[in-house]
Every structure is written in structure tokens, then in C-alpha cells.
């Protein structure tokens, strides 16, 4: 496809819709984290069941939905088009959000969180794929930077709205309403010419198993997946259990995980913007990944040195941690740029969801280590493993900046 056939503006409607779609996606994900406890209490669930029973099951059922949805929407994106996923996923998670606001039983809550997970799984991958294919190769990093930066800021807004509204049902309604409003904008978005060209070829499209039938393809896929593990270790362990870590280190004030998440995502928003911008200036994805992984290692080390710190000092470190793992832009962009048009949506959609799906394994390792090591030592060991694997991967991964994407993966 010729460059003149593509939109040259990084603020075209596709970038705007993908950005706002990911914004609502992240809003819903974090909102659920914030309102999970009060919503279950309102449904009459006792505290011990919230901590160990139905509360954990809700998280797991949503994750199951995202894992299944990641595969489903990825295949749909390569078979039917990127816009099909943007439309379908936004519609599904918007309806699920509104339904979450009406639930009167834990059974209904479980059902609609699973449906929400299915819907949430498709948005980012489809958006990044579409933006990567529409923009000229010299500018697509700016486009994906905008998508991720606007999207991650949804977490900050979710925390603000939850505190301002203080009614978990209304918070869900707001999220659903924002998603449905997006569908109006989506009507103006055009499908990428790369996908139109692909439909005229005989290449196999959206064949998920094709990722595992060729050694080179599998290694590329595995490397893309490993790059995302430090982000979810930081968010899912160090920040999610920040109150416990702070207690172990003797932080002088009580730490609220909700506030720790808000500070972390504020840092993440700035980090996503910075990594996208630096990658364009350096004309490299690999170098930026390596830089920010080293920065992550440094902030994790600082995090474990917060003995006797004040809560504001602790929250500042959380913001720094968020900034250091703000390479979600680069992570998903590398995945999209590493594969041909006939598998691009499948990869870009499954990789971020599978990276999130590794969190239960990471937390399981963290919990099992505590039988031999202290709480802090266990956290440090898991950090070293996650960051170490990602560093090795970033060092060996292909440089994809400026790569021509108009090709297909052969069988």
C-alpha cells in the first residue's frame, strides 16, 4: 500500500476512537477493582467471603473472560476486520457495565463480570492494530502513544469518579454510557487498506494455531508476551498488596491500595507518553524497552527500601513505579509490528490479555515462596525473575521501528 493512501494525521478519527475506547476499557478494569468490596458488601456478602471466596472468584472469572475474549477477538480481527472488533468489544463491555449496575445477586455479578471480561479483551489489540496500519510507519509510534496515554488515564478518572459519586451502581452506569457514546464516533472510522488488501489474497487469516506451528513465529510470540510481565507484577503484586508491603516495612502511616493504584496509574500515564515519544525520537523500540526495564528494576529496589517512610513518600515511589512500567505502548506496538497482516490482530489482542493472564501464576509463585522466605524477600525474588526475563527478551527481540507491515505470515 502506498503511503499516500494512508491518513498522515496522528489525530485522525481512528486514533481518537481507539484512544477513547481504551480509556473506557481501563476505566472499567480499575473501577471493578475499586468497587469490588463495597459492591459485594451491598449484595450481602460477608467480609471473609469477599477476601477469599466470591471476591477472588469474581476476579478469576473476569480474567477467564479476558483470556477467552483475547483469542476470540483476535481471530475476528484478522478474519472480519479491525472495525468489527472495535464495534463488538465496545458494545459488549458497555452493555455488561450497565448490567453490572443492576445486579442483585452474586450469580448475576459473576455472569456479567465474565461478559465484561470478554468485551474488554478486544479493545486495545484492535485499536493498536488499526492505528499501526493506518498511519505511515514513521508516525505510527505517535499514534499508539496517544492510544495508550489517553487509555491509561481512564484509571485516574475511575478513581476520581468512584470517590466523587460514591455509588458503585452509578459508576458502572457511567462507564456503560461512555462506551455506548463511543459507538456513534466509531461510525466514522474506516477499515485499514492493509486489511482490505489481505481479503483479496489467499493467505490464511486469524489462524491462532499458526503461531505454534513454526519455531520462529512461536519465539517471536513468546518474546512479545514476556515483555509485559513486569507491568503486571508491579500492578498486581507490589501495588495491589501495597498495604501489606508497607506494614512489613514499617511505613509510618496506613496505606490505601486504592490510593496507591491511583498514584501508580498517574505515573503509568506519563510513562506511556514518554516511552512512545522517546521511541520516536530514538527511532527504536528495543532501546526504550531496555531503558525502562532498567528503570523498573531501580524503582523496585527503591520500593523495598521504604522502611519507616511516610505515606506520601511511599505514594511517590508508587508513582515512580508506575512511570517505569509505562511501556505498555511499546509492548503492544512491538507485538503488532512483529507479525504479518493475517495474524497481526490475533497477536496484538492475545498478547496483552495473556500477559495479564500470567498474573495468577506470578501471585502463586509469590505465595509459595513465602513458606521459605519472608514476605519482602518473596516479593524481591519474584521481581528479579519477572524483570530479568523481560530484560533478556528485550535484548533479543527484533527492532520493529519503521518496519513495513504490508506482508503476510506464510503457513
For residues 353 and 69, the answer to whether their CB atoms sit within 8 Å is yes
- What pLDDT does residue 306 have? 93
Kindly report the pTM of this predicted structure. Answer: 0.87
For residue 239, give the C-alpha cell.
Answer: 501495588
Q: Which of 49, 115, 52 is nearest to 88 (CA)?
A: 115
| pLDDT by position in tens, the chain (length 411) | 344 344 567 778 888 888 888 898 888 888 887 888 889 889 988 877 776 678 778 888 888 899 999 999 999 999 988 888 988 998 999 999 999 999 999 999 999 999 999 999 988 888 889 888 888 888 888 888 888 888 888 888 888 888 888 899 999 999 999 989 888 877 777 777 787 777 777 778 888 888 998 899 999 999 999 999 999 899 988 998 888 899 999 998 888 887 888 899 889 989 989 998 999 999 999 999 999 999 999 999 999 999 999 999 999 999 999 999 999 888 989 999 999 889 999 999 999 989 888 888 898 899 899 999 999 999 999 999 999 999 999 999 999 988 888 888 876
For residue 397, CA distances in Å to 92, 216, 224, 335, 343 come to: 34, 12, 8, 10, 18
- What pLDDT does residue 196 have? 74
- What pLDDT does residue 102 have? 94
d(CA 80, CA 76): 5
Element (H or E) spanning 410, and its range? none
Domain boundaries, the chain: 8-187, 228-326+358-398
- What pLDDT does residue 3 have? 40
Report the b/e string of 172-210 with b at 16+ CB within 10 A.
bbbbbebbbebeeebeebebbebbeebeeeebbbbbbeb
403 CB burial (10 A radius; 0-12, 13-18, 19+): middle
Q: Domain 8-187 belongs to what architecture?
A: Up-down Bundle (1.20)
| CA dihedral over 241, 155, 343, 134, signed as positive or negative | negative
For residues 162 and 175, the answer to whether their CB atoms sit within 8 Å is no
For residues 338 and 409, the answer to whether their CB atoms sit within 8 Å is no
For residue 333, the tally of other CB atoms under 10 A from its CB is: 28
- What pLDDT does residue 7 have? 52
d(CA 74, CA 81): 10
Amino acid at each position: 500500500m502506498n503511503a499516500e493512501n494512508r491518513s498522515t494525521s496522528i489525530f485522525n478519527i481512528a486514533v481518537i476512537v481507539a484512544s477513547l475506547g481504551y480509556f473506557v476499557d481501563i476505566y472499567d478494569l480499575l473501577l471493578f477493582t475499586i468497587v469490588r468490596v463495597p459492591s459485594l458488601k451491598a449484595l450481602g456478602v460477608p467480609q471473609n467471603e469477599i477476601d477469599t471466596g466470591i471476591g477472588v472468584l469474581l476476579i478469576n472469572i473476569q480474567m477467564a473472560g479476558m483470556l477467552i475474549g483475547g483469542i476470540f477477538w483476535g481471530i475476528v480481527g484478522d478474519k472480519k476486520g479491525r472495525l468489527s472488533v472495535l464495534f463488538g468489544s465496545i458494545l459488549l463491555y458497555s452493555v455488561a457495565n450497565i448490567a453490572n449496575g443492576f445486579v442483585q445477586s452474586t450469580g448475576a455479578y459473576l455472569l456479567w463480570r465474565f461478559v465484561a471480561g470478554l468485551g474488554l479483551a478486544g479493545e486495545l489489540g484492535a485499536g493498536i492494530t488499526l492505528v499501526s496500519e493506518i498511519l505511515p510507519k514513521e508516525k505510527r509510534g505517535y499514534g499508539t502513544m496517544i492510544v495508550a496515554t489517553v487509555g491509561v488515564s481512564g484509571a485516574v478518572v475511575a478513581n476520581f469518579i468512584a470517590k466523587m459519586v460514591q455509588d458503585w451502581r452509578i459508576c458502572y452506569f457511567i462507564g456503560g454510557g461512555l462506551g455506548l457514546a463511543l459507538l456513534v464516533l466509531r461510525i466514522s472510522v474506516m477499515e485499514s487498506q492493509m486489511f482490505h488488501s489481505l481479503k483479496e489474497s489467499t493467505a490464511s487469516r486469524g489462524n491462532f494455531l499458526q503461531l505454534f506451528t513454526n519455531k520462529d513465529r512461536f519465539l517471536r510470540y513468546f518474546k512479545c508476551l514476556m515483555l509485559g510481565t513486569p507491568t503486571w507484577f508491579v500492578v498486581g503484586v507490589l501495588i495491589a498488596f501495597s498495604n501489606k508491603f508497607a506494614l512489613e516495612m514499617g511505613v509510618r502511616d496506613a496505606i490505601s491500595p486504592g490510593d496507591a493504584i491511583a498514584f501508580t496509574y498517574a505515573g503509568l500515564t506519563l510513562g506511556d507518553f514518554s516511552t512512545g515519544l522517546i521511541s520516536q525520537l530514538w527511532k527504536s523500540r528495543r532501546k526504550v524497552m531496555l531503558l525502562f526495564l532498567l528503570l523498573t528494576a531501580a524503582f523496585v529496589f527503591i520500593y523495598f527500601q521504604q522502611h519507616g517512610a511516610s505515606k506520601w513518600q511511599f505514594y511517590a515511589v508508587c508513582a515512580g513505579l508506575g512511570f517505569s512500567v509505562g511501556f505498555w505502548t511499546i509492548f503492544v506496538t512491538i507485538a503488532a509490528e512483529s507479525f504479518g497482516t493475517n495474524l497481526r490482530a490475533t497477536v496484538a489482542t492475545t498478547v496483552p490479555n495473556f500477559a495479564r493472564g500470567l498474573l495468577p501464576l506470578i501471585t502463586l509463585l509469590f505465595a509459595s515462596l513465602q513458606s521459605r522466605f519472608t514476605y519482602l524477600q518473596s516479593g524481591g525474588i519474584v521481581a528479579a525473575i519477572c524483570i530479568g526475563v523481560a530484560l533478556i527478551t528485550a535484548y533479543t527481540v527484533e527492532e520493529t521501528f519503521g518496519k513495513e507491515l504490508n506482508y503476510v505470515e506464510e503457513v
